[in-house]
Structures are given as structure tokens and as C-alpha cells.
Amino acid sequence: MPIRVMVVDDDPLLVTGLTFLLESAEDCEVVATARDGEEAIAAARSHSVDVVLMDLGLPRMDGIEATTSIRALPDPPYVIALTTWDVDDAVMKSIEAGASGFLLKTSSPQEIFGAIRSVMAGDAVLSPRSTRRLLDQLGRESAGEQHLQAVRAVASLTAREREVAVGVGRGLTNGAIGAELYLSEATVKSHLSTIQTKLGVSNRVLVAVLAERAGLLRAS
């Protein structure tokens, strides 16, 4: 079954271009488009969507608020933020709202298809470089109370789960984490699901954020 994608952007040329590109792949199908956040939420409710490509600078309701609402739906689609700038404040807010990562609007077709397939496989849409920049920025903004909360949260993880969380924080894919820890990719996914439940977060990028705030990445 093709991956069902929704494209959300107020630029009709970009929507048309992305739709044409995505429809050219055998494993992708554009099932909806939207011009603003309110339309995106309505479309997510009325269509069966797997992945949303979400512009952040939308009229009426911005992409961050729309991401929060869409990720709160039952069995929600993954959200990939579309942005002009690499790791800015809006990108970080979208990830905290539940986005699985971001794509630059100048991304190549290979990067776009790779991002969509990655989130469907349970991986984040962040390169190790972007992950590091994101965590460095969040680390500079983190207050002492955030550190203490993160330490308390990760205390619930087993030693193996901490190792997986550190791998996520380093920007590694599930396959790469499994190779390092001598685990199958399915086992890594299972650990990651448990980690997200224990930490009360909705995606692997927020696992990385908590791991950074708790000091696990510096300890590694």
C-alpha cells in the first residue's frame, strides 16, 4: 500500500510541485492538500493520512499549532516540518509539538522521499549534524529545573534503554543503533517504544532532547 501523504503549504506552486513529485513514486500517494493550519486539521480528520509535510509559516493557524492538534488525534499521522532555515526556533517548537523532524524547502527529491520513508520506518528526519545543532541549542536554553526533570525521567530507563536513548541522541538510525549494540532493528524499535512511553514523549527526537537535558550524551 502506498504511503499516504498530505501536503500543507500556502504557496500553491510548492504544493503543486510537491504533489507532482510525490505522485511520481510508486510508494507514495498524495491524499490531501491544505493551505493553512485549520484546513490541515480538518483534512487529517477526514482522510487516512500516514505523513504530513507541514509548512510552519501558515496563515490563520501556524504549522506549530496545527502539528500539536494533528498529533493529538487518535492514531495520528507523522508530521515533517517544512522550513526555509536549518534548526531555528520554529523548528524546535514544531519538534516539541510532535513533529518527527524537518525538511528544508530546498531539499532534493531523494531527501524528501528518504524523509517520508524514514518516519514510516520509525526513524527521525534529522541528520546527525542537525540533531547535534538542535540539542546544542536546546542545551543552551535549558534551565536547571529542566535538567532535574530530565534526570528524574531517564531514571526510569533500564541500562539497555539508556544505551538506545543515547544512540537516538547521536542521530543514529534504528539499524545503526542495533549494529552498535548487537540488537536486531525490531528489538531497537521495541526498546524505543518503551522508552517513549516511560518518558511520556511522542517521538524519538524528544527522546534525544531528554537524553541531552539529563546529561546522558555528555556522559557517553
pLDDT one-digit tens code per residue, 103-128: 888 888 988 998 899 889 877 776 65
Do 204 and 151 reside in the same domain of the chain?
Answer: yes
CA distance 16 to 195: 38
C-alpha cell read off for 58 = 501558515
Asked if 138 and 39 sit in the same domain, the reply is no
Please tell me which residue, 62 or 128, carries the higher pLDDT value: 62
**CA distance linking residue 118 with residue 3, whole number of Å:** 11
Same domain, 96 and 138: no
Burial-class residue 172 by CB neighbours within 10 Å (0-12, 13-18, 19+): buried
pLDDT at 71: 94
- Which is more confident, 172 or 15? 15
* Domain ranges, residue 78: 3-125
Residue 101 has pLDDT above 90, yes or no: no
Last residue of a domain, one of 125, 145, 160: 125
pLDDT at 31: 97
Task: Identify the CATH number of the domain in which residue 28 sits.
Answer: 3.40.50.2300
Strand locations in the chain, DSSP E? 3-8, 28-34, 51-55, 78-83, 102-104
Asked if residues 73 and 44 have their Cβ atoms less than 8 Å apart, the reply is yes
The verdict on 163 and 188 lying in the same domain is yes
Residue ending a domain, among 125, 155, 186, is: 125
Q: What is the pLDDT of residue 147?
A: 79
The average pLDDT across 92-98 equals 84
How far, CA to CA in Å, does 51 sit from each of 78, 151, 199? 5, 32, 24
25 and 115, same domain (yes or no): yes
Same domain flag for 115 and 153: no
Q: Give the total number of structural domains in the chain.
A: 2
Tell whether 7 and 68 lie within a shared domain.
yes
Average pLDDT, the chain: 87
Residues 155 and 204 in one domain: yes
Report the C-alpha dihedral over residues 130, 131, 132, 136, rounded to 10 degrees: 100
